[in-house]
Amino acid sequence: MTFRRIPLYLTGLRILLAPVLLIMYGFNVESFWYGVVLGIGFFSDVFDGILARKLGVATETLRSLDSTADTIFYAGVFTVAVLKHHELLMPFWFPLACFFLLETGRHVFDRIKFGRSAAYHMWSAKVWGIFLLLGFTEILVFDFAGVGFIGALALGILTNLEGLWASIILREWVHDVPSLYHALTLNQRRQ
């Protein structure tokens, strides 16, 4: 194993953790272990990008795979949250519906405009990732939906709006666009 493949393995790990969570639910494991898996998923997401940049392997393909891995992992997390505590999520049905419509609409828009999904890795998405960890830890480990989950939901909507706006204004597909400001700057530089 070469060190240059570690970011790929960390990204792949997140993809594998989604079915692990479902298996854990099937075997009715203690809530503590959901927190462990959430932590592993979160830190694999943090360090795959850091290591990819340090090792010079932050390619378009790896960054796109990273975004896909995030989607698969959190789809697994959300599925287990619904299975385990659907009653906690029901009061949030409207913002959840808004989030899923935005998320889906954004991917469809990106596919139509660029032929593939965006992989912006914006700063807002990084903050959102912290709140996803907090929010789903509340639900899966401590059996309540509080400030962490509400923050995750609000930031998910805002992050998707920022990403959609970036996709609207960018003329061509680019990865690693830190913010909407950077998307605007990219367009100005390429005129």
DSSP string, 50-119: HHHHHHT---HHHHHHHHHHHHHHHHHHHHHHHHHHHHHHGGGHHHHHHHHHHHHHHHHHHHHHHSS--B
Query: What pLDDT is attached to residue 188?
Result: 77
- Residue 191 CA to residue 188 CA, distance in Å, equals 6
Residues 46-68: tens digit of each pLDDT: 999 999 999 999 999 999 999 99
* Domain extent at residue 70: 3-189
Query: What pLDDT is attached to residue 38?
Result: 98
Query: What pLDDT is attached to residue 189?
Result: 76
Mean pLDDT of the chain: 95
Query: What pLDDT is attached to residue 1?
Result: 56
- Residue 133 CA to residue 38 CA, distance in Å, equals 6
CATH classification of the domain holding 56:
1.20.120
CB 41, CB 77: distance < 8 Å: yes
Domain count, the chain: 1
- 191 membership: H or E segment, kind and range: none
- Residue 24 CA to residue 49 CA, distance in Å, equals 27
Rg (CA), the chain: 17
Tokens 């393909």 belong to residue? 61
Single-letter amino acid code for the residue at 84: K
Task: Give the predicted TM-score (pTM) of the model.
Answer: 0.94
Residues 108-156: tens digit of each pLDDT: 999 999 999 999 999 999 999 999 999 999 999 999 999 999 999 999 9
Query: What pLDDT is attached to residue 191?
Result: 62
Mean pLDDT to the nearest integer, 17-22? 98
Instruction: Say whether pLDDT at 190 is over 80.
Output: no
